[in-house]
Amino acid sequence: MDSQDKQFSARMGDAGEVPEIGLISDLVTLTKARLSFLVILTTFVGFCMAGSGSLKWGLLFHAIFGTTLAAAAAAVLNQWTESHVDRLMERTRQRPLPAGRMEPAFALWFGIALALVGVAWLWFTTNALSALLAAATVLIYLFLYTPLKRRTAYCTLIGAVSGAIPPVIGWTAAQGESPVLGLWAWVLFGVLFTWQMPHFLAIAWIYRDEYAQAGFVMLKREDAGGLWTALVSLFFAGLLAVTCSVPYFAGLNTSFYLFGALILNGALLFLASRFLLERSTTTARRLFFGSIFFLPLLLGVMVLTKR
C-alpha cells in the first residue's frame, strides 16, 4: 500500500485509525460511529417521506435511536467475527480487537446488548414492523453478508440489502403498523441499494490486494483487470439514476427534484464511466468520494421538494 492509500484509509474512518489508547476511542471504532451519520440521515429521510404535516419529533428520535443501535450492533458483531482476519490487513489491524486492546468476550456481549436494546426500543416506542426490520438488518449483515465475504463476490449485493433497510425503518416508524410498504419505502430502499454498489465496489478495488491477502472475495477472482468491477459499478450507477427518477414521475416530488437528481446522477455516472475507462486506484477513489457527496445531496433535495 502506498502513502496515498494509507492517507485515504485514515480519512475513511472505517478502519486504519491511528491507534489511540482509550475506551471511548475504541468504542467509536468498534461501532463504526462515524458511519452512524448515514444511518441517521437515511432513517430521518424515510421518516420525513412517510409523514405529512409537522414532524413528530419524539417518534423521530425513537426511530433514529433504535435504528442506530441496531446498525452499531451489526458493526460490533461483524468485527468480533472477523477479528482474526482483520489483523492481516493494514487498514484494520489497529482496530481494538485485532490489536488486542479489547477482550473478544466484551465485544461479543456489547454487540448482543446493542442489538437487543435497539430492537426492543423500536418495538416499544414505534411498532413491531420497525423492530423486525431492524432485527433483519443485523441478521442479514452478520449471518449472510459476513460469511459470504469469504466465499463469493456477490456478497456485496447481500450487504446492500442490509444497508438499504434503515430508511424503510424510518418510513414504517412514521407510517404505523401497516404491513404493506408504500411507494416511498420501496423508492428509498432502491436508492440506497443501488447507491451502495458503486460505493462499495470502489472500496473493494482500492483495497483489492489487502482483501485478497485476508481471504475476502470482494471482487471476482478472475477480474484481475477490474473490467467486471467497473462494469457492475456503472450498471448500478445507471440503475440508481432510473430509481431516482421515480419520485418525480410518480408525482411525489416537484420538477426541481428531477433537475437536481439529473445533475447529481450525471456526475456519478461520469465518475463510474471514468473508472471503467481507466481502472485505477485514483479513479476508484474519485468514484468513492463522489458517492459520499452524492447521497446526502440527493436525499436533501428529495426532502425539500416533496409534494
- Indicate if 198 and 151 belong to the same structural domain: no
- Indicate if 26 and 148 belong to the same structural domain: yes
And the C-alpha cell for 77? 458483531
In sequence order, the β-bridge partners of residue 306 are 253
pLDDT by position in tens, the chain (length 307): 554 554 444 444 444 444 445 888 999 999 998 788 899 999 999 999 997 778 899 999 999 999 999 999 999 999 999 999 999 998 889 999 999 999 999 999 999 999 999 999 999 999 999 999 999 999 999 999 999 999 999 999 999 999 999 999 999 999 976 667 889 999 999 999 999 999 999 999 999 999 998 999 999 988 989 999 999 999 999 999 999 999 999 999 999 999 999 999 999 999 999 999 999 999 999 999 999 999 999 999 999 999 8
- Indicate if 132 and 261 belong to the same structural domain: no
- Final residue in a domain of this structure, among 179, 201, 225: 179
The total number of structural domains in the chain stands at 2
- Indicate if 160 and 303 belong to the same structural domain: no
- Indicate if 273 and 229 belong to the same structural domain: yes
pTM over 0.85: yes
Residue 55 to residue 42: CA distance in whole angstroms: 16
- Indicate if 193 and 173 belong to the same structural domain: no
- Final residue in a domain of this structure, among 152, 179, 206: 179
How far is residue 58 CA from its own chain's centroid?
25
Residue 80 to residue 104: CA distance in whole angstroms: 6
Which of 143, 160, 151, 155 is closest to 73 using CA atoms? 143
- Indicate if 133 and 195 belong to the same structural domain: no
Contact 196, 164 (CB under 8 A): yes
- Indicate if 292 and 143 belong to the same structural domain: no
- Indicate if 175 and 187 belong to the same structural domain: no
Neighbours of 86 (CB within 10 A): 21
- Continuous H helices in 82-220: 83-86, 104-125, 128-140, 146-148, 155-163, 166-175, 183-206, 208-214
**∠ Cα 90 163 179 (to 5°):** 160
Residue 168 to residue 2: CA distance in whole angstroms: 40
- Final residue in a domain of this structure, among 179, 212, 239: 179
- Indicate if 157 and 277 belong to the same structural domain: no
Amino acid at site 120: A
- Indicate if 148 and 17 belong to the same structural domain: yes
Residue ranges making up the domain that contains 77: 1-179
Task: Give the CATH number of the domain where residue 62 resides.
Answer: 1.10.357.140
- Indicate if 97 and 236 belong to the same structural domain: no
